[in-house]
Amino acid sequence: MRALTGIKPTGIPHIGNYVGALRPTLELVGDKGCDVNLFIADYHALNLVSDRAHIRERSYSIAATLLALGLDPEQCLFYRQSDVPETFELTVFLTSFTPKGLMNRAHAYKAAIQQNREDGKSEDDQDVGVSMGLYIYPILMAADILLFDADIVPVGRDQRQHIEFARDIAGSVNAVYGEGTLKLPEGRYGKDAEELPGLDGRKMSKSYGNVIPIFAPDKEILAACKKVKTDSRRPEEPKDPDDSILYKLFKIIATPEEFQSFHDRFVPGGMGYGTAKTELADLLIAKFTGPRAEYERLMADKGHLDALLLKGADKARTIATATLDRIRKAGGFHV
Ligand code: TRP
């Protein structure tokens, strides 16, 4: 059984990334029950990241983050998408089996044209700002998955449509070349990243400026925790856990024992918000100080990161080439 997941190279990680993507990914690799492909989706970032010049740097950053948080690269296939060029041949192959109408229904594309409509663009201009890269993003993602005959794809629920598309596209190929030419993957949907509130209670997101970074200096982590929004209850008053951002953050990050101790002192009253904020900062600092040092060490040696990622890509390409040969053969191309 093979599980495969891709992670976009975001900037410096914050707790939202940690809880939503990094921690589940590390748990997946720790699960001995299956082979895992974990890759950095750097070609996908070409559409999404405005500072394209920094994609390479961001890829190092996400690789170093995962390693610093304990990823064992020997336990999985860990690689950069761009180091597996077979992905891109398969993408082109799949475009011929993908109805254009399917791509018209993609959420990200629909959101872009909806925005153009709202901005008062004419019908002829509805595709303004949409690159073909954005338009066929789901085909590239299908290629990432189908190239490795992945059985399961653990992703956030927001990726459901992409998984459905990958299955549809694989089905179209199989309808022509026979069942089993491509394996239909199944999505495994984790909890939504939305569940992690930011400093102001909205979803934690860099674009809202409400994040707590994980690898920042202690001072910055404490300063961010001090900014968590609270109400005006006094220390001795009981607190409402359902209505407390601090409580929710603590719950998602702490171990069950740490959380229980916090809960018992916070909810009935007795602990003030100031103390709770400091405790949250202490918890984060204790958790991330070691990984932060390791992250900095890794980022100082890009040659080492490249070697490690290329080693992963080499292993991945052995599988990818075999799949691609199978597909080329089915399509009547020279192998
Ligand atoms: N689209 C995914 C995201 O936005 C990232 C991704 C790219 C991916 N290719 C993938 C995830 C293949 C799983 C499998 O998070």
Strand ranges, E, within the chain: 2-7, 35-40, 77-80, 152-155, 186-189
Give residue-wise pLDDT tens across range 104-135.
Answer: 999 999 999 999 999 999 989 999 999 999 99
Judge whether 266 and 277 are in contact, CB under 8 Å: no
The total number of residues written for the chain in this structure = 335
| Residue from 322, 328, 315, 318 nearest 94 by CA | 328
Q: Is 40 in the pocket of ligand 1 (CB under 6 A)?
A: no
Q: Is 17 in the pocket of ligand 1 (CB under 6 A)?
A: no
Q: How far is the CA of 87 from the centre of ligand 1 (A)?
A: 13
Nearest atom of ligand 1 to the alpha carbon of 141 = 9
State residue 112's pLDDT score.
94
Q: Is 141 in the pocket of ligand 1 (CB under 6 A)?
A: yes
| Residue from 10, 36, 55 nearest 207 by CA | 10
Q: How far is CA 185 from the centre of its chain?
A: 18
Q: Is 155 in the pocket of ligand 1 (CB under 6 A)?
A: yes
* Number of neighbouring beta carbons within 10 Å of residue 27: 11
| Residue from 38, 68, 23, 10 nearest 196 by CA | 23
Residue of 2, 4, 5, 134 to mutate, ligand 1, most atoms within 8 A of C-beta: 5
- Identify the residue whose C-alpha is closest to ligand 1 atom 11: 6
User: Where is 151: in which H helix or E strand?
Assistant: none
Q: How far is the CA of 174 from the centre of ligand 1 (A)?
A: 23
Banded pLDDT at 31 (limits 50, 70, 90): confident
Lowest mean pLDDT among 159-168, 199-208, 211-220, 250-259: 199-208
Helices (H) and strands (E) in the chain, counts: 15, 5
Q: How far is the CA of 111 from the centre of ligand 1 (A)?
A: 18
Q: How far is the CA of 214 from the centre of ligand 1 (A)?
A: 22
Q: How far is the CA of 142 from the centre of ligand 1 (A)?
A: 9
Nearest atom of ligand 1 to the alpha carbon of 81 = 9
Q: Is 6 in the pocket of ligand 1 (CB under 6 A)?
A: yes
Q: How far is the CA of 69 from the centre of ligand 1 (A)?
A: 20
Percent of the chain having pLDDT more than 70?
98
Banded pLDDT at 3 (limits 50, 70, 90): very high
Burial category of 263 from C-beta neighbours within 10 Å (exposed 0-12, middle 13-18, buried 19 and up): middle
Q: How far is the CA of 140 from the centre of ligand 1 (A)?
A: 9
Q: How far is the CA of 141 from the centre of ligand 1 (A)?
A: 6
State residue 191's pLDDT score.
66
Give residue-wise pLDDT tens across range 131-176.
Answer: 999 999 999 999 999 999 999 999 988 899 999 999 999 999 999 9
The angle at the Cα of 310, spanning 309 to 313, to the nearest 5 degrees, equals: 90
pTM attached to this predicted model: 0.92
